[in-house]
A and B are shown apart, each in its own frame.
Chain A
Amino acid sequence: MTGGDGDGDGDVTAAPPLDWKFSQVFGERTAGEEVQEVDIISAIEFDKSGDHLATGDRGGRVVLFERTDTKEHGGSRKDLEKTDYPRSRHPEFRYKTEFQSHEPEFDYLKSLEIEEKINKIKWCQTANGALFLLSTNDKTIKYWKVQEKKIKKIAHMNMDPLKAVGNGSIASSSTSSINSLSHTLNGACTDKSYNSLNKDFSSSAAINALRLPVVVTSNETNLVARCRRVYAHAHDYHINSISNNSDGETFISADDLRINLWNLEISNQSFNIVDVKPANMEDLTEVITSAEFHPTHCNTLAYSSSKGSIRLIDLRQSALCDRHSKLFEEQESPGSRSFFTEIIASISDIKFSRDGRYILSRDYMTLKLWDINMDSGPVSTFQVHEYLRPRLCDLYENDSIFDKFECCLSGDGQRVATGSYSNLFRVFGSSPASTEATTLEASKNPMRRQVQTPSRSLTSSISRVVRRGGEVPGNDTNGNSLDFTTKLLHLAWHPTENSIACAAANSLYMYYA
């Protein structure tokens, strides 16, 4: 392995910081191009193998990308790796297909418009070469199957040869086809009376003339996305997360106050497993912001709340999981309380690490890494937005303080990443010894910003456990203040390689290291 490759999985000491390079961009904006609201990306998800990537947008569309660099080499890839060449290949994707997952709807009972915006996408188990995924908007979850189909043509029919090409309506087919059949069978047919027709058919020659339709398969293929199931009418509030169980048959969907458990094959019923709705809505102090199943333990799930706590739930304990088995929250330091304390404590996203040992959470100011065996406090806290603290008032005024940034972990758990404003995102080394804290910009030149970032100060690495990585300047070199309208909310880390996909408005940028 070459040095900068970042494959130091087994390292006890920290791996060297990654050298991020631009890989690809999809839907890049040309200068001065106005972004259409419907094109803004609202969800990104890699599948388990990392061979596919899905994005969802505000227009209710799901776009699929597939990896190209592994496929081309197929079986020989292993041999390539064995040889001593530095691995120059990095994940490269190409557009595969897209489909309209959700349409805008109107709930007439509640006089509510239901946006088509895709809130989350989750990949499901692949079967028979077809891809399966779940997508959800605020209310409705859909199960999609995307399959490559060979184009087939029907080459021969008993009846009207025309019918074999086109698709004649049923009504016409039954009358005209009888006539045409008599043509083919009799050679010449003058009087097509009912009786004579039947007479002809009774001969054995007629039976022999019956042919099964001949289907010619062409080599052209066609990607078809079909909605297999719709899981609807189970959420009174907006769905913020969906997550698959490791058992391959169930998944959860979480809204502000409830979490429901579904069987993938049953769309007309679900079980409510968490309900935080108080008897009186005026007593409401806390909502569910995100929920995820443990990657391997089928009975464990975690959900985060607007008060900054993460609850671990054991589904074995009882049918309605009102009591958590573990609670992770950080005691706020006394005296620092302000009007904004609770707002910025709200967790916008949680993710389990691949091995299920850690949970990464993102609140407005920080990323926190929790060990699920240690509920006294986070093992690491990474400052993402500390420099914004003096400006919370402005952020509150323009609602930016309620932005929901996602977070992600690398497949090896060595690094964590999350988004920020001005299309920036940050990558931190998560191992205790690491001082890695990189700021990148979602553009073709991701390190542009980093040049201006002062190198890590010694203090932050010493006081690592307390705070670190809080040195991003509020202004760039030109003295422009951060742009709160361009925010990088969604990003995902490739499950096996150091590659990040992130969304800047309508563009999907991909980086590798």
Chain B
Amino acid sequence: MYAFCYLEITMSMVDEPLYPIAVLIDELKNDDIQLRLNSIRKLSTIARALGEERTRKELIPFLSENNDDDDEVLLAMAEELGVFIPYVGGLEHAHVLLPPLETLCTVEETCVRDKAVESLCRIGSQMRENDLVDWFIPLVKRLAAGEWFTARVSACGLFHIAYPSASEILKAELRTIYSQLCQDDMPMVRRSASTNLGKFAATVEKAHLKTDIMQIFEDLTQDDQDSVRLLAVEGCAALGKLLEPQDCIAHILPVIVVFSQDKSWRVRYMVANQLYELCEAVGPEPTKTDLVPAYVRLLRDNEAEVRIAAAGKVTKFSRILSPELAVQHILPCVKELSSDSSQHVRSALASVIMGMAPVLGKDATIEQLLPIFLSLLKDEFPDVRLNIISKLDQVNQVIGIDLLSQSLLPAIVELAEDRHWRVRLAIIEYIPLLASQLGVGFFDDKLGALCMQWLQDKVYSIREAAANNLKRLAEEFGPEWAMQHIVPQVLEMVNNPHYLYRMTILGAISLLAPVMGSEITCSKLLPVVVTLAKDRVANIRFNVAKVLQSFIPIVDQSVIEKTVRPCLVELAEDPDVDVRYFSKQALEAIDQVMMTS
């Protein structure tokens, strides 16, 4: 005991025991990648043991030199170095971390480079201004002039950190370098420059924004490579937010209007996704005159992928517009889309269209949207119907459910009997939501029977989900309702000739018991379980043992002693080994409860 204490004291003095450190250090170069990875992940531990000075002078140079490792190890290294400032002696020494990250910025694996850039940004954003000038900016310039495209790709992501602390002359140089990167021979570099333009632009002074940056942007929007133009579209919204509204209207708006009619469907697809963000930047009037027509064109695009993207933004776009504009321009398109030839377009529409109800208000919803809801509820494609049903609560708030319920029921019934079990599974998941929206009365009449029917589905996942559904319904409507509408029906099925169905019932009982409470469990559920203990199928019997175990916290001790334990004792003598095993486990659990109470 004494020695143990002594050990404790000495250990606390060195912070960590050293022999594992020695192992960790050696394993930085182990042949097993898992061990190397482990060591790299614990780099901070090694650094703490070595101390700040040795970390700076030995560990960091060591890492800089040993960077031809597996991607996984390099990725971990890039990540660890990002939070390494405390281990090299704080901010004044932060620059020593740059060299190993610089080499990681040049590897060919994109995720390693991205992580290295991320870590460099993290370090750079904490570094002191003159350190940035002395160390960080030269690094950015070196990477931007790198022989291989990998270095230049990484450089693009660092300008926004380097730029603010640079002198005027340096700033001008950095802007020039960036515009050169945007004209690089390699499309990879131009893509990276395009992606990072928004971030860089945010740090550039207003005066240069309108000249230099907009020139760069315009060049990118006319790039030969579709993939570069695509990313320029993404930059539109970011740049638009930086510019004054009138500049945005003058420079960004024409570009986005041109993009919305680009020859490449992928460019139009991006516009469809981004357009609503730009509305805020340009203000209401240009939105009305330019962006709404552009959006309407996209909603009617020839390419289904573009319509899918546009349809998915219908609600977001409508929210920005006044209800009148939405009714006037967007709604007609929505009507067309609801009978689009592509099921994916209808599905995308169905997943958002319910959100339009609060935007349009009650009258317009009843008059205009309701027919669309109803037609989508009758769609031949199950996903469309499911998407409508899943968002039912949104429309319920505006117009109530009654107007829909007539069409809802056939849709639900049809989905409930769909031949694809995944569709059946999806509708089961929504049943509790439907129940809460539709209310007890409606549910009892129409849906109760369906819930029971699923318990006897051919697919296990459906039976399992059905049992879970019963539990959630019992929670929603309360034990009293469940006692009337669920329990009797469930218990009736316990005599099903097929043991798999009996097993489902057993599962349902164990799920329902906690919700129903002690009294009903004892009076109704327990007797049934006890009878099943005599089942001829061993799988049922050991599941009985499991269910009985789950009853222990629910029922009274007296009941356990009187009913549960005798039943389990009997099962513990069962010829089947599994039955014996599980009943013994249950008995042990009982004993444990007895001990503690």
Q: Give me the interface of A with B, judged by CB distance under 8 Å.
A: 125-130, 132, 145, 149, 154, 157-159, 163, 167, 170, 173-174, 177-178, 181, 195, 197-199, 201-202, 206-207, 210-213, 215, 246-250, 265, 296-299, 315-319
With both beta carbons as reference points, the residue of chain B lying nearest to A199 in the complex is identified as: B10
Given known A-B contacts A170-B32, A215-B66, A298-B225, A316 and B264 have beta carbons under 8 A apart:
yes
Given known A-B contacts A170-B35, A247-B225, A298-B226, A198 and B19 have beta carbons under 8 A apart:
yes
Checking A154, A174, A202 against B13 with a beta-carbon cut-off of 8 angstroms, the contacting residue is A202
* Chain A residues closer than 8 Å to B148, beta-carbon distance: 126-129
B26 near A163 with CB under 8 A, answer yes
A447 to B401, CA, bound (A): 88
B51 within 8 A of A: yes
* Chain B residues closer than 8 Å to A177, beta-carbon distance: 22-23, 26
Q: Give me the interface of B with A, judged by CB distance under 8 Å.
A: 3, 6-7, 10-11, 13-14, 17-19, 21-23, 25-26, 28-32, 35, 49-51, 58-59, 62, 65-66, 68, 106-108, 110, 148-150, 186-188, 191, 224-227, 262-266, 302-305
A195 to B2, CA, bound (A): 11
A191 to B509, CA, bound (A): 63
A178 to B17, CA, bound (A): 12
Q: List 27 A-B contacts (CB under 8 A).
A: A128-B107, A158-B22, A177-B22, A177-B23, A178-B19, A178-B23, A181-B19, A195-B7, A198-B19, A201-B14, A202-B11, A202-B14, A207-B49, A212-B25, A213-B29, A246-B225, A250-B227, A265-B110, A297-B224, A298-B187, A298-B224, A298-B226, A299-B226, A315-B226, A317-B303, A318-B303, A319-B305
* Chain A residues closer than 8 Å to B262, beta-carbon distance: 316
A157 to B39, CA, bound (A): 14
* Chain B residues closer than 8 Å to A298, beta-carbon distance: 187, 224-227
A210 near B62 with CB under 8 A, answer no
Which 9 pairs, one residue from A and one from B, show the smallest C-beta to C-beta distance?
A201-B18, A316-B264, A158-B22, A167-B31, A213-B29, A127-B108, A202-B10, A319-B305, A212-B62
B19 near A130 with CB under 8 A, answer no
With both beta carbons as reference points, the residue of chain B lying nearest to A160 in the complex is identified as: B26
A118 to B590, CA, bound (A): 66
With both beta carbons as reference points, the residue of chain A lying nearest to B188 in the complex is identified as: A248
Checking A125, A195, A207, A212 against B28 with a beta-carbon cut-off of 8 angstroms, the contacting residue is A212
B62 near A316 with CB under 8 A, answer no
A61 to B25, CA, bound (A): 39
B65 near A215 with CB under 8 A, answer yes
A207 near B51 with CB under 8 A, answer yes
* Chain A residues closer than 8 Å to B28, beta-carbon distance: 212-213
- 18 further A-B contacts with Cβ under 8 Å, apart from A125-B149, A128-B107, are A127-B149, A128-B108, A130-B108, A158-B25, A173-B30, A174-B23, A195-B6, A202-B11, A202-B18, A207-B50, A210-B49, A212-B62, A249-B187, A296-B224, A298-B187, A316-B265, A318-B302, A318-B304
* Chain A residues closer than 8 Å to B263, beta-carbon distance: 316
Given known A-B contacts A213-B29, A215-B66, A246-B225, A201 and B17 have beta carbons under 8 A apart:
yes
Given known A-B contacts A128-B106, A149-B68, A207-B49, A316 and B226 have beta carbons under 8 A apart:
yes
A316 to B264, CA, bound (A): 4
* Chain B residues closer than 8 Å to A315, beta-carbon distance: 226, 264
Shortest beta-carbon distance from B52 to chain A in Å: 13
A431 to B312, CA, bound (A): 53
B265 near A319 with CB under 8 A, answer yes
A181 to B20, CA, bound (A): 11
* Chain A residues closer than 8 Å to B187, beta-carbon distance: 246-249, 298
Shortest beta-carbon distance from B45 to chain A in Å: 12
A198 near B29 with CB under 8 A, answer no
* Chain A residues closer than 8 Å to B304, beta-carbon distance: 318-319
A163 to B493, CA, bound (A): 68
* Chain A residues closer than 8 Å to B10, beta-carbon distance: 198-199, 202
A158 near B226 with CB under 8 A, answer no
* Chain A residues closer than 8 Å to B29, beta-carbon distance: 154, 157, 213, 215
With both beta carbons as reference points, the residue of chain A lying nearest to B65 in the complex is identified as: A215
A299 to B108, CA, bound (A): 25
* Chain B residues closer than 8 Å to A297, beta-carbon distance: 224
* Chain B residues closer than 8 Å to A132, beta-carbon distance: 108
* Chain A residues closer than 8 Å to B6, beta-carbon distance: 195
* Chain B residues closer than 8 Å to A249, beta-carbon distance: 187-188, 191, 227
A128 to B49, CA, bound (A): 35
* Chain B residues closer than 8 Å to A201, beta-carbon distance: 14, 17-19
Given known A-B contacts A249-B188, A318-B303, A206 and B18 have beta carbons under 8 A apart:
yes
* Chain A residues closer than 8 Å to B264, beta-carbon distance: 299, 315-316
A198 near B17 with CB under 8 A, answer yes
B303 near A159 with CB under 8 A, answer no
A176 to B304, CA, bound (A): 66
* Chain B residues closer than 8 Å to A316, beta-carbon distance: 226, 262-266
With both beta carbons as reference points, the residue of chain B lying nearest to A174 in the complex is identified as: B23
* Chain B residues closer than 8 Å to A211, beta-carbon distance: 25
A129 to B150, CA, bound (A): 11
* Chain B residues closer than 8 Å to A248, beta-carbon distance: 186-188
With both beta carbons as reference points, the residue of chain B lying nearest to A224 in the complex is identified as: B68
A150 to B225, CA, bound (A): 38
* Chain B residues closer than 8 Å to A163, beta-carbon distance: 26
* Chain A residues closer than 8 Å to B51, beta-carbon distance: 207
* Chain A residues closer than 8 Å to B11, beta-carbon distance: 198, 202
Shortest beta-carbon distance from B115 to chain A in Å: 14
Checking B14, B25, B110, B226 against A213 with a beta-carbon cut-off of 8 angstroms, the contacting residue is B25
* Chain B residues closer than 8 Å to A206, beta-carbon distance: 18
* Chain A residues closer than 8 Å to B191, beta-carbon distance: 249
With both beta carbons as reference points, the residue of chain A lying nearest to B266 in the complex is identified as: A316
A246 to B191, CA, bound (A): 13
Shortest beta-carbon distance from B293 to chain A in Å: 22
Shortest beta-carbon distance from A424 to chain B in Å: 40
* Chain B residues closer than 8 Å to A318, beta-carbon distance: 265, 302-305
A207 to B25, CA, bound (A): 12
* Chain A residues closer than 8 Å to B303, beta-carbon distance: 317-319
A238 to B32, CA, bound (A): 37
A249 to B108, CA, bound (A): 13
A27 to B51, CA, bound (A): 59
A374 to B68, CA, bound (A): 51
Shortest beta-carbon distance from B402 to chain A in Å: 41
* Chain B residues closer than 8 Å to A296, beta-carbon distance: 224
A158 to B25, CA, bound (A): 8
* Chain B residues closer than 8 Å to A250, beta-carbon distance: 227
A129 to B108, CA, bound (A): 10
With both beta carbons as reference points, the residue of chain A lying nearest to B301 in the complex is identified as: A318
A152 to B302, CA, bound (A): 59
Shortest beta-carbon distance from B109 to chain A in Å: 8
* Chain A residues closer than 8 Å to B66, beta-carbon distance: 215
A159 near B26 with CB under 8 A, answer yes
A128 to B186, CA, bound (A): 14
A159 to B11, CA, bound (A): 20
A317 to B107, CA, bound (A): 36
A177 to B31, CA, bound (A): 16
* Chain B residues closer than 8 Å to A181, beta-carbon distance: 19, 22
Shortest beta-carbon distance from A165 to chain B in Å: 12
Checking A159, A207, A215, A265 against B14 with a beta-carbon cut-off of 8 angstroms, the contacting residue is A207
Checking B26, B31, B32 against A158 with a beta-carbon cut-off of 8 angstroms, the contacting residue is B26
A247 near B266 with CB under 8 A, answer no
* Chain B residues closer than 8 Å to A246, beta-carbon distance: 187, 225
* Chain B residues closer than 8 Å to A145, beta-carbon distance: 108
* Chain A residues closer than 8 Å to B186, beta-carbon distance: 125, 248
With both beta carbons as reference points, the residue of chain A lying nearest to B34 in the complex is identified as: A170
Checking B22, B68, B106 against A159 with a beta-carbon cut-off of 8 angstroms, the contacting residue is B22
* Chain A residues closer than 8 Å to B65, beta-carbon distance: 215
Shortest beta-carbon distance from A162 to chain B in Å: 12
Shortest beta-carbon distance from B420 to chain A in Å: 20
A265 to B224, CA, bound (A): 22
A315 to B303, CA, bound (A): 12
Most buried by B among A125, A197, A212, A249: A212
* Chain A residues closer than 8 Å to B31, beta-carbon distance: 167
